[in-house]
Structure formats: C-alpha cells, structure tokens
Amino acid sequence: METLKPKLFEAMKDYSKQQLIRDIISGIIVAIIALPLSIALAIASGVTPECGLYTAIIAGFFISFFGGSRVQIGGPTAAFVVIIYGIVTDFGLDGLIVATILAGIILIIMGICHFGSLIKYIPYTITTGFTCGIGVSLFVSQIKDFLGLDMGAVPSEFLEKIAAYAKHITTTDITTVCVGVLALVILIFFPKLTDKIPASLVAIIVTTLVVTIADLPVNTIGSVYGELSSRLPMPTIPTVSFKMIRELISPAFTIALLAGIESLLSCVVSDGMIGDRHNSNAELIGQGLGNIFSGLFGGIPATGAIARTAANVKNGGRTPIAGIVHSITLLLILLLLMPTAALIPMTTLAAVLLVVAWNMCDWKAFADLLKKAPKSDIIVLVGTFFLTVIFDLVVAIEVGIVVTALLFMKRMADVSDVKAWKYIEEPDVTEGEAETLLSVAKEIRVYEISGPMFFAAADELSYIDTKKYTKFLIIRMRSVPAIDASAMRSLNALADRTEKKKIRLIFSHVNEQPLSVMQKDGFYDRIGADSFQPNIVDAIRYAESQL
C-alpha cells in the first residue's frame, strides 16, 4: 500500500510556514487562470457554465488530496470536450454522470492494479494524432459563438457542423465578430507584455466592460443560460440501467484512458520542473476519486491540466496544498461572484477556446512525424487524426491501438528469422568464410532462431530442412527472448517430423521464458533434459558423442 500513498502525506513531513504562503498565493493565481477556462470548457461540452466550476472545485480537490504529484492541478480540460459533447447529445446529463463515474472507477482499478507504468505503451503517434484531432474539432465547435451565427444547436458530427455553418453563414453578426476579434487580440498580444496576469482574464474583463457599458447586442452567458446558480449542488445518483452501462462503457474507458495519459504526462512535465518524482499509481487513484465525485456533484470528467500545473510551479506551488487552495478559491468565487459571470460575452469564451485549441494542435510535431517517421507510423498518425475529427475519439483510439499493435507484430515477425548454419563443405562457401566456420559433422544440422517466436512468426519453423543423412538437428535459441502457444505448436510439429525421420532434436541456449513455456507444455519432458544444452559448443559436442 506504500506505493499508493498520496503525495500530500509525504509533503507534510517537512512543511513550513514560508511554503504555506507560497502555496496559498500560487493556488489563488491558478484559480484565477482556471475560472474562465472552466466556464468555457463546460459550455463547449454542451453543459451549463456552473458544471465547469463544479468540476474544478470537486475534482481539483480530490486530485490534489489523493494524487501522486506534489503540484498537479486537476480540472476540466479541452481533451474531453468532443467526447463529452457526444455523450450529452446521445444520452443526456444522466448519461454523462454515469460515464464520468464509470471512468473514475476504471481509473481506480488501474491504480490498484499498478497500471501507471502501462500508459507509456500508448504510442506517441496516437497521442499526437488524437490531440491534434481534438484541437481541430474544438476549434470548429467554437465558430457559432465566435461569429454569432443565428442557428439552433450545433450538430455533434464534424461534417454536419461544417454543413450547418455553411448554411447559416449569412447570419454572421458583425458586432459579435468585432468583440471576438478584440478578445483574440488581447489573448495573442497581452502575454508578450506580461505573464503575471492571465490573458484570458484580461480579455474577459475588457470585453465584458465594453459590451455592458456600450450596451452592445451580443449574446452573453446570462442571455443564453439565464440566471447562474451560486451554490454547490447536492450529490445525485442518476437513473442507471444495464443497457446504459453497456452503451457507455466504451466512452467511459476512453475518458479513463485520456485522463490517465494527460495526467501522467502533466506529472512528467512537472517532475522536470521541480526535480521530484510522481507516484503514477497513486495519481491514477486520485484521478479516479476526482472523477467519481465530480460526476456525483454534477461535474464533467477531469484530469491533470498541464498548463495550470505549470503555472502552479512557476508561481511557487510545491505541495498539494496549492491545488486545494485553488479549489477553495474557486468555491468562494462560485458562492460570491457567480451571478457576475452572466455578463461575459459568449464570443469571448469562444475566442479563449480558439486559442486553447490552436495551442493543443502541436503542428510542428505533427509535421516532423510526417517528414521523418516510418510509413507505418505515419499511417497511424494520419489515421488517428482523421478518425478523431470525422468520427469520434473512441473510434480513433480503438482503431489506432489495434493498427499500431498489428504493425508492431509485423515488425517483430520481420525481424524473427530461422537460418541454417553454413558448412565448410557446402559449395557456396567462399575461401574467407571457410576460415570462420566450425567444422561440424555432416550428420549434424544446426539452425539458429533470432527474435521472438510468436504466432506471426511461428511458421518460420516449417522451413527447417533436414537432409537425408541428418542424424541430429540442433536448434540454437540464444536470440529468442520469448515464445507463445503458436510457436509451441510449430515446435511440436517439428518434433513430429524429426521423430518420423529418426532425427534427434537438441536445443542450445534456451532462455528463461521459452524454457518455462516448454516445460509447462510438456515439450521439455518429451525431448528429454539431455537435449537441452547451455551453449552451442556443448550441443555440438553432445551430438558428436552420440554419433
């Protein structure tokens, strides 16, 4: 259980008053950064603005308290927007709550089973592909509010969105666009002046004042969503059916996978900034608890937010106390200032998310992979990207992982090989080669296997050729790290062939895993212990002694 202990307990051992002050200041600053993002991400996900704050408050608290990082800041992130919007469209808010809670349970199971290190097996091509795909989808989803289009609900499918925008493009509101452009200018250029104050907060304050003072006819949060609630909701248990769970288990797994990947990536980045090492399994449990309680209190899926975590580190946060202060600050803002948020223009929130979406799309990394990566990796990258954009994230990750696994197996099969030794008397041996070849009796044939012997490479054993005069067949296996059931079937078939021809099988340098599989299969007893020699020299000597 020591490996699952939250970092908070470790951080408290040498905690000081000076660090408490730094954590409080950092937590307040990060809360100010998180405020507009939480509201904007909730709206983009198809839920009410308050849901974003519920998520940052509830999930942020549990992720900091029970997580495995000293500085992780949890909350809603752009990675979930596309999948949440689809769930809300298809299953409603009850479906979203069920999916969020299921994802939390999956994350806790992953942590208890010590799956934290398995996240590294998700290829970089898949994470780059779906991250850029999410960025494009998020960018496109903000066009309605940024342009002030007069249209109904935005379709969840990408191509349908584009068609709907094209149909209603003539309803673009110039005043709304001007306010949105003003917000974009602030978001792009203000960070070049100073990074002490969040550009998103400045953009929201300036544009809200402009719209309010000038009484501009621009949609605001209040005009679209009505009066905003300034209190935390009571925990609710949604109506659940087995059919709903069965339909939502796939998106819930995708949410859990995304939360695990993004949170652990954030941990790795922050580790490098503070010289610490996170506990990946405790982090998964913290993420799981955060999502379960976020769902129960009406929030949306949450994970570690890389940008907010980096801001926490830069402002002096060094313990989970900063993350807890961030949650408490947002709670106070919810209770005291939430009605004021109704004045924020929708186009400003759209501008904030346009910048977030653009920053998500690491086009430089995408272009570098297209130029330098092997063709198989490019197929996975481009395929994951287009599947994320055109279909959905669930399909993209599932197909991406399956295709990557198949291509990996093909690569392993390509490097797995079975070759016969050359003999001094063979006609194609050159004069130079003859000096380096062992002199082996012609009745002894030696084959060397290289690479893992699994189902995609097992048929290589069928190409082993035995001459009429062969009495002993030595199989050298020093370069075989592992074998599977398919390879064992091929080995048994080889044993059947050699027994019919009265040829004795001898194995040289069988590694631990293959030897264990052979023993379990009964093959070891069938061939006999004497037929397993520690190295090729001993194998040849044994065969010669039996001639």
- Domain residues for the domain of 222 are 2-405
Q: How many residues does the chain have?
A: 547
For residues 312 and 30, the answer to whether their CB atoms sit within 8 Å is: yes
User: Please, which pLDDT band fits residue 436 given cuts at 50, 70 and 90?
Assistant: very low
Contact of 25 with 316, CB cutoff 8 Å: yes
- Last residue of one domain, picked from the residues 354, 384, 405: 405
Between the CA of residue 255 and those of 65, 82, 281, what are the distances in Å? Answer: 21, 11, 17
220's tokens = 């605001």
Same structural domain, 238 and 383: yes
CATH assignment at residue 490: 3.30.750.24
Where a domain ends, among 384, 405, 426? 405
Residue 410 lies in a domain: no
Report the alpha-carbon distance of residue 31 to residue 26 in Å, rounded: 9
Would 246 be classed as within a structural domain? yes
Q: Residue 77: inside a domain, yes or no?
A: yes
Provide the 8-state DSSP code for 448: E
How would residue 285 be classed by pLDDT, with cut points 50, 70 and 90? very high
Residue 206 has pLDDT above 90, yes or no: yes
Range 500-518 average pLDDT: 93
Q: How many domains does the chain have?
A: 2
Structure confidence at residue 435 (pLDDT): 42
Question: Which of the pair, 226 or 185, is modelled with greater confidence?
Answer: 185
Q: Are residues 491 and 529 in the same domain?
A: yes
Q: Tell me the percentage of the chain whose pLDDT exceeds 70.
A: 96
pLDDT band at 27 (very low <50, low <70, confident <90, very high): very high
Domain shared by 438 and 362, yes or no: no
Residues 400 and 430 grouped into a single domain: no
Q: How many CB atoms lie within 10 A of CB 205?
A: 15
For the CA atoms of 541, 543, 544, 547, what is the dihedral angle to 10 degrees? 160
Residues 388 and 349 in one domain: yes
- For residue 56, the one-letter residue type is A
Whole-number Å distance between alpha carbons of 440 and 459? 27
Last residue of a domain, one of 405, 436, 463: 405
Considering the domain boundaries, does residue 446 fall inside one?
Answer: yes
CA distance 486 to 457: 9
Whether 112 is in a domain gets the answer yes
114 SS3 class? coil
Residues 305 and 437 in one domain: no
Please report whether residue 480 resides in a domain.
yes
In sequence order, what are the residues at sequence separation of 6 or more whose Cβ sits closer than 8 angstroms to the Cβ of residue 182? Answer: 203, 206, 207, 210
In terms of average pLDDT, the best of 175-179, 225-229, 431-435 is 175-179
Cβ–Cβ contacts within 10 Å for residue 325, how many?
Answer: 23
If asked whether residues 317 and 433 sit together in one domain, one would say: no
Contact in structure between 343 and 208 (CB atoms under 8 Å): yes
* pLDDT for position 106: 96
Distance CA 427, CA 422 (A): 10
Task: Please check whether residue 43 lies inside any domain of the structure.
Answer: yes
| Per-residue pLDDT reduced to its tens digit, 296-325 | 999 999 999 888 998 899 889 999 999 999
**In the predicted model, what is the mean pLDDT of the chain?**
88
Determine the angle formed by the axes of helices 393-415 and 242-274, rounding to 10 degrees.
70
Question: Between residues 50 and 469, which one has the greater pLDDT?
Answer: 50
Is the Cα torsion angle 142, 143, 149, 153 positive or negative in sign? negative
Structure tokens at 35: 């405020």
Residue 483, SS3?
A: strand
Please tell me whether residues 541 and 471 are part of one structural domain. yes
* 135 falls within a domain: yes
183 and 137 part of one domain: yes
Token readout for 449 is: 């296997």
Shared-domain flag, residues 344 and 254: yes
- Mean pLDDT (whole number) for 259-270: 87
* Sign of the torsion angle spanned by Cα atoms 180, 182, 186, 188: positive
**Does residue 149 sit in the same domain as residue 188?**
yes
Residues 430 and 305 in one domain: no
